[in-house]
């Protein structure tokens, strides 16, 4: 997968050199390119922002450097794309509090893509014509991390890249662990059950006996029940959205 990120604070992306994502880059599973938006300006001060039309507090990012940066990236696609992939181009991800909230389903969909481009806003965001223009040329998705406001899109890139990259074959050592997590489709999108390791007793708290009993069926039932209870308590919206077909009589008895 090729990942291009345009930002005025490329140093923010340094953590992507660490741990599994860093290793995936060294193994050639991911190619990360970080571009400085200011390299696409033409004035002495390398200006990327200006005052908003209509007035108001703060500054907005100007469209021209974005147009030049994104056009340069689009003109340099990754090698080895099929004709169809080249025709479709990358998915342009624009982190924004006005975007759709980023979820595991989207991480899975993005993990199927060979090429992602991220546009990191700063200040009060990016001139709205940038999204409008590129949406007429390629697939554009405005993504939000949640209902709060950050200073810039870089943190969102760290989050989205980590969630997507760990789904790529070979990035996480034991692929089976991906199916045994919160939000996994294999478990109907439920939150994960509580999990324990050794010792069996710690500060007066004991690991539930069923987990040490060696009875796989009982362990699976306990985990499913706990996942259902936990999800119902913390995320009733997830339980409410479960299709009838995802639950059986034993589930409904929880
Ligand atoms: N004026 C914008 C608004 O009210 O919707 C907020 C701009 S914010 C201060 C600057 C940048 O931070 C945004 O362009 C975006 O890249 C990023 N950002 C802020 N909150 C975000 C969120 N919840 N999810 C993703 N990106 C966010």
Instruction: Tell me the CA–centroid distance for residue 83 and ligand 1, in Å.
Output: 35
Residues 52 and 156 in one domain: yes
Residue 44: is it exposed, middle or buried by C-beta count within 10 angstroms (0-12/13-18/19+)? Answer: exposed
pLDDT averaged over the chain? Answer: 96
Query: What's the domain range around 231?
Result: 185-252
* Same domain flag for 158 and 190: no
Ligand 1 within 6 A of 141 CB? no
Determine if ligand 1 sits within 6 Å of the CB of residue 52: no
The reply to whether 67 and 190 lie within a common domain is no
Same domain for 126 and 37, yes or no, is: yes
- Note whether 161 and 221 are same-domain residues: no
What total of structural domains would you count in the chain? 2
Does 146 show up as a binding residue in the annotation? yes
Tell me how far the alpha carbon of residue 146 lies from the centroid of ligand 1, in angstroms.
Answer: 10
Instruction: Say whether pLDDT at 165 is over 90.
Output: yes
Tens digits of per-residue pLDDT, 84-103? 999 999 999 999 999 999 99
Distance 241 CA to ligand 1 centre (A): 28
At 72, is the pLDDT very low, low, confident or very high (cuts 50, 70, 90)? very high
For residue 122, pLDDT beyond 90: yes
Considering the domain architecture, whether residues 81 and 160 belong to the same structural domain is answered as yes
**pLDDT of res. 175:** 87
Determine the pLDDT at residue 153.
98
30 and 155 share one domain: yes
Residue-wise pLDDT for 5-38, tens only, equals 999 999 999 999 999 999 999 999 999 999 999 9
Output the domain CATH number for residue 104: 3.40.1280.10
Q: How far apart are CA 201 and CA 197, in angstroms?
A: 10
In whole angstroms, give the CA distance from residue 26 to residue 5: 18
CA distances to 74, 109, 144, 146, 190 from 102, in Å: 24, 11, 6, 8, 16
pLDDT of residue 95: 98
pLDDT at 197: 98
The helix or strand, by DSSP H or E, that contains position 3, with its residue range, turns out to be strand 2-7
Q: CATH no. for residue 236?
A: 1.10.1270.20
Residue 174 within a domain: no
Q: Is 150 annotated as a binding residue?
A: yes
Pocket mutation for ligand 1, best pick of 5, 12, 92, 97 (most atoms within 8 Å of C-beta) = 97
Q: Answer whether 89 contacts ligand 1 (Cβ < 6 A).
A: no
pLDDT digits (tens, 9 = 90+) for 207-225: 999 999 999 999 999 999 9
Residue 110 β-bridge partners: none
101 is in an annotated binding site: no
């Amino acid at each position: 997968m090729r990942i291009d990120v345009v930002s005025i604070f490329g140093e923010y992306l340094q953590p992507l050199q660490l741990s599994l994502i860093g290793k995936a880059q060294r193994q050639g599973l991911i190619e990360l390119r970080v571009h400085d938006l200011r390299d696409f300006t033409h004035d002495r001060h390398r200006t990327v922002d200006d005052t908003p039309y209509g007035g108001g507090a703060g500054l907005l990012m100007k469209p021209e450097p974005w147009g030049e940066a994104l056009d340069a990236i689009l003109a340099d696609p990754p090698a080895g794309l099929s004709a169809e992939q080249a025709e479709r181009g990358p998915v342009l991800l624009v982190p924004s509090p006005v975007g759709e909230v980023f979820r595991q389903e989207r991480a899975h969909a993005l993990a199927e893509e060979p090429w992602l481009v991220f546009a990191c806003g700063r200040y009060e965001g990016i001139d709205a014509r940038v999204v409008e223009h590129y949406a007429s040329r390629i697939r554009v998705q405005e993504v939000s991390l949640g209902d709060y406001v950050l200073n810039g899109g870089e943190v969102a890139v760290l989050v989205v890249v980590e969630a997507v990259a760990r789904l790529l074959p070979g990035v996480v050592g034991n692929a089976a662990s991906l199916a045994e997590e919160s939000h996994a489709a294999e478990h109907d999108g439920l939150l994960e059950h509580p999990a324990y390791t050794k010792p069996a007793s710690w500060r007066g708290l004991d690991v539930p006996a069923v987990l040490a009993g060696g009875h796989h069926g009982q362990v699976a039932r306990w985990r499913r029940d706990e996942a259902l209870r936990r999800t119902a308590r913390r995320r009733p919206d997830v339980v409410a959205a479960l299709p009838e077909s995802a639950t059986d009589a034993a589930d409904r008895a929880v």
